[in-house]
Structure 1
Amino acid sequence: MTDQPPLWQWTASDIAMATRRGSLNASDVTEAAIARMQAVNPALNAVVESLADEARADAAALDRSTAPKGPLHGVPVTIKINVDQKGHATSNGVMAFKDMIAQQDAPLVHNLKTAGAVVIGRTNTPEFSFRADTDNPLFGRTHNPWGPHISAGGSSGGAGAAVMAGIGALAHGNDIGGSLRFPASANGAVTVKPGLGRVPAFNPSQTSERGLLAQSMSVQGLIARNASDLQLSMPVMIAQDAHDPFHVPMPWRGTPLATPVRVAVARDDFGFGTHPAVATALDKAASALSEAGYAVEEVEPPRAREIGEAGYRTLLSEVRDMLGPDIRKYGSTEINTIFDEYYSQFPPYDGTDFLRMLAKRTYYARQWTLFLEDYPLVLTPFLLKPFFSPGRDAEGPEGVRDALGCSHWSFIMNFLGLPAGNLPTHISDTEGGPSPIGVQIAGRRWREDLIVDAMQAIEARIPPTCTTLWARS
């Protein structure tokens, strides 16, 4: 066993296999994760609430239990601070909400715990979880483990930084416009944004329902270090909960497709230009899929730029009217200035124009559904440049444009409610140091399994970046 890596480096799959067969106990795994958190989190500020004592008690209870072991038995995880966890504040990075203590667990927290996962901490998010960078007046900035030259991304920046630094094998996050995929791309992690209705969503502490478009675009998911861990853990996340009346109770695995599975490679830069490092990452992913037996073809899906822009403008229309007053009242000057620039670059629709765009969403979704009949998977860039520096979105119009304004490939998938994965396929030598470059794989509705299969095929040829990161530290 002396040649084994330290426990904090183990994958969720390896941990679960060892704890389920009895060669490793949950307490040992938990102690290793806590020790790693205590060693590296002071420099990262990824976990803003340590649950070390609670985690030790939960792990000890798992070790004493004679009940059947769940699929994530003893796997250390983190939860983002915008989701309810009993006994802890759902602050959402906002000073005014720092004492909003949840009385119950959200469904995803319940599902993870029921599967045997051990929650070791709660991770940082920007104010109102609505930035591609993670900083707030309540807890401060989260830093990227690759170095100070790269933002940790957002809004699940704490989750992305934590999992890549070895603080837990899995990290919960959520995504309304890219908040799982931005931090995955920034930190070199792997994620799949589930499609609409896939993971039950509900915060018991909420006092009113979210806007209809927020309900249709925002999803809950996980960030990991490799795609195999998503195959293990996502079936746990999709377990049904009656608190979400629009949850779709479908199995994780869908009907096998005829082979070779066709993949459309889309390279549209929407007039913003594609950095050579991003083109390299896309080429590497396409080549890996081709080598794995996929039928890879260069073809552009329908109305991509139009959908990305319309989707974000429509979302901001709802946000302005429903969340905007709280942002004005409780948000910092910085977040309000950033939102003003959002509204400038993606002008919200008014009145019947907003209603028309809500209706047109079905037209756009239909066009893509038909396209996905021919090409079940679509490989795209994620960002068109290497990931931006910390605080870039607070640097006026050009900063917002670099961080969010050219992120149409992200917005498209949320507006249409389609699943989309993100994984790194290249490490670029950028100014300041190395930067992982992520690509996006979107797919048919309710076929996250196909996306994760494809990411596993790529990883068989392009190893996960965590080994490179840890070799540097």
Structure 2
Amino acid sequence: MTDVPLWQLSASELSARIHAREVSATEAVSASIDRMQAVNPDLNAVVVDLSEAALIRARALDAHSGDKGPLHGVPITIKINVDQVGQATSNGLPALKDWIAAEDAPLVKNLLDAGAVVIGRTNTPEFSFRIDTDNPLHGRTHNPWGKHISAGGSSGGAGSAVMAGCGALAHGNDIAGSLRFPAAANGAVTVKPGLGRVPAWNPSQAAERGMLSQSMSVQGLITRSARDLHLAMPAMIRADPRDPFHVPLPWRGAALEGPIKVGFTTEMLGNALHPEVAASLNDARAALVDAGYALTEITPPSLADLAEMGIRALMTETQAMSGPDIARIGSDTVRAIFDEYFRQFPPYATDDYLRVLAARTGLARQWSLLLAEYPLVLTPFMPQPFFGPGRDTQGAEGVHEALASAFWCTGFNFLGLPAGNVPARLAALDTGPQPIGVQIVGQRWREDLVVDAMIAIEDRIGPMAPHLWSRMG
């Protein structure tokens, strides 16, 4: 037994204690709700409080005598851009505040079927397409490390909530970094799944998304502990016929002969690498070597092309398919941000766009060949510590720092490869302690290898949450 507050336990620890009948689902959920009510007023991470329904479900789970799912009684949050029956899928937009879902999205159903309990829904920027989380419907989400650091986006509410202790797991999604940016900002852990890994669809959507959005956008989880991804992601990836392109593979792939080779790079295409970011990469590298991985410095293939093509192709589709809605129902702030996006990442003309989509296969082949030799690649995520709130509203320089300099991010959505983010250092900056994350890219459909490597880093360096809680109180 332990005297650690239940809300501080990882999902894995909490699940084990619930299954051992040391803790009830009601006790676990109540503890997270109490924590949420204590800290969320300052954070604005959870913008829809589902405490009452969560306690009803928890009591029903406690009364259930059958087999318990892997997430039985584990408190979680869901991002407000995904359908949850009876709730608004607002996507941070006042115009959609009454867009009520009639049924659950596949990932919500999967998590509920595994026994999870939803205590609230988390904030996102308008259209879920910013690296910062603020919107005119629910307002700004704050980073629990301090209001001088952005909570990241677009799953900023998820990252802030889970690190503050508002639930043991937080759902998020990622089309250009929206899982990894909040993980990096808040000191959390995530793995962006690869193409087709988690079944995805919003039953409430009025039309199908563009093909590039379908192939780049993925659903995932943000956690405080890397091991929690091994607990929860197998439930997330369960097949659902509503996603016809889901890939029905098990979470764990075949074991690789050791030592597993890891490619290592600090290449930032001319962006200066902050000393604390360089130190975090060295710390992660040392942790992997200590764990038995074989690290080799590599030259990443076609990195400049990957950095440019992925984001410009996405902006091409976004301008064509979402541009009218951005102009019609977006705020002045988000319209100005998209204007700057389109200036820095100019949408392609039709012929060029088609050529880029064709060239995508060649880039994917180059990375497939690299990953055949090095099943994992350790990279920077951003060249500098995470920026302050509203940085992407500060013109060309702000958008460059917030998005363009993080080119390691969007490219792996473009290629459909898994990529994780794990904190590797607690930097002592003038503004105060701040977590610094690194990225690990993996072979296609080998998220399990990425998570194993993140566990090795976390085991040596330690999780960030205890450092945060000592500051928060």
Instruction: Normalising by structure 2, report the TM-score.
Output: 0.99
> Deviation of residue 19 (structure 1)?
1.1
- Name the CA distance, whole Å, in 2 between partners of 1:30 and 1:65: 16
Instruction: Say if 2:284 is the partner of 1:299.
Output: no
CA-to-partner distance for each residue in 1:181-235, whole Å, 9 max, x for gaps?
0000000000000000000001000110000000000000000001100010000
Give 2:256's aligned residue: 257
- Name the CA distance, whole Å, in 1 between partners of 2:349 and 2:430: 42
Matches within 5 A, 1:210-289: 210-289=209-288
Deviating beyond 4 angstroms after TM superposition, the runs of 4 or more aligned structure 1 residues are none
- Name the CA distance, whole Å, in 1 between partners of 2:395 and 2:428: 26
- SS of residue in 2 equivalent to 1:460: helix
Matches within 5 A, 1:316-327: 316-327=315-326
Does the 8 A contact of 1:45 with 1:158 survive in 2?
yes
CA-to-partner distance for each residue in 1:37-58, whole Å, 9 max, x for gaps?
0000000000000000110111
Give 2:40's aligned residue: 41
Give 1:16's aligned residue: 15
- Name the CA distance, whole Å, in 2 between partners of 1:21 and 1:81: 33
- SS of residue in 2 equivalent to 1:337: helix
- Name the CA distance, whole Å, in 1 between partners of 2:79 and 2:307: 26
* Mean CA deviation greater in 346-355 or 192-201: 346-355
Give 1:189's aligned residue: 188
- Pairs aligned (count): 472
Give 2:120's aligned residue: 121
Does the 8 A contact of 1:149 with 1:433 survive in 2?
no
Q: Structure 1: which amino acid aligns with 2:152?
A: G
Give 1:426's aligned residue: 425
Uncovered stretches (5+) of structure 1, i.e. residues with no partner: none
> Deviation of residue 429 (structure 1)?
2.0
Give 1:180's aligned residue: 179
Uncovered stretches (5+) of structure 2, i.e. residues with no partner: none
- Name the CA distance, whole Å, in 2 between partners of 1:170 and 1:317: 34
- Name the CA distance, whole Å, in 2 between partners of 1:368 and 1:317: 24
Does the 8 A contact of 1:193 with 1:220 survive in 2?
yes
- Name the CA distance, whole Å, in 1 between partners of 2:435 and 2:20: 35
- Name the CA distance, whole Å, in 1 between partners of 2:260 and 2:343: 41
Does the 8 A contact of 1:264 with 1:298 survive in 2?
yes
- SS of residue in 2 equivalent to 1:461: helix
> Deviation of residue 430 (structure 1)?
2.2
- Name the CA distance, whole Å, in 2 between partners of 1:356 and 1:343: 19
Give 1:459's aligned residue: 458
Q: Structure 2: which amino acid aligns with 1:382?
A: F
Instruction: Say if 2:59 is the partner of 1:60.
Output: yes
Matches within 5 A, 1:147-162: 147-162=146-161
Does the 8 A contact of 1:267 with 1:300 survive in 2?
no
Give 2:347's aligned residue: 348
Give 2:145's aligned residue: 146
> Deviation of residue 308 (structure 1)?
1.5
- Name the CA distance, whole Å, in 2 between partners of 1:300 and 1:457: 24
- Name the CA distance, whole Å, in 2 between partners of 1:410 and 1:44: 26
- Name the CA distance, whole Å, in 2 between partners of 1:350 and 1:81: 33
Matches within 5 A, 1:439-450: 439-450=438-449
- SS of residue in 1 equivalent to 2:470: helix
- Name the CA distance, whole Å, in 2 between partners of 1:7 and 1:305: 46
- Name the CA distance, whole Å, in 2 between partners of 1:434 and 1:394: 25
Does the 8 A contact of 1:126 with 1:134 survive in 2?
yes
Give 2:371's aligned residue: 372
Q: Structure 2: which amino acid aligns with 1:84?
A: D
Instruction: Normalising by structure 1, report the TM-score.
Output: 0.99
Q: Structure 1: which amino acid aligns with 2:252?
A: R
Give 2:78's aligned residue: 79
> Deviation of residue 458 (structure 1)?
1.0
- SS of residue in 1 equivalent to 2:336: helix
Give 1:382's aligned residue: 381
CA-to-partner distance for each residue in 1:77-122, whole Å, 9 max, x for gaps?
0000000000000000001000000000000000000000000000
CA-to-partner distance for each residue in 1:392-426, whole Å, 9 max, x for gaps?
00011100011001111001110100000001011
- SS of residue in 1 equivalent to 2:318: helix
Instruction: Say if 2:107 is the partner of 1:108.
Output: yes
- Name the CA distance, whole Å, in 1 between partners of 2:262 and 2:303: 16
- Name the CA distance, whole Å, in 1 between partners of 2:124 and 2:413: 19
- SS of residue in 2 equivalent to 1:301: coil
Give 2:166's aligned residue: 167
CA-to-partner distance for each residue in 1:317-346, whole Å, 9 max, x for gaps?
000000111011000000010001111111
Instruction: Say if 2:91 is the partner of 1:92.
Output: yes
- Name the CA distance, whole Å, in 1 between partners of 2:180 and 2:53: 29
**Aligned alpha-carbon RMSD (Å):** 0.7
- Name the CA distance, whole Å, in 2 between partners of 1:167 and 1:337: 33
> Deviation of residue 431 (structure 1)?
3.2
Give 2:136's aligned residue: 137
- SS of residue in 1 equivalent to 2:403: helix
Q: Structure 1: which amino acid aligns with 2:216?
A: M
Instruction: Say if 2:436 is the partner of 1:437.
Output: yes
Q: Structure 2: which amino acid aligns with 1:271?
A: G
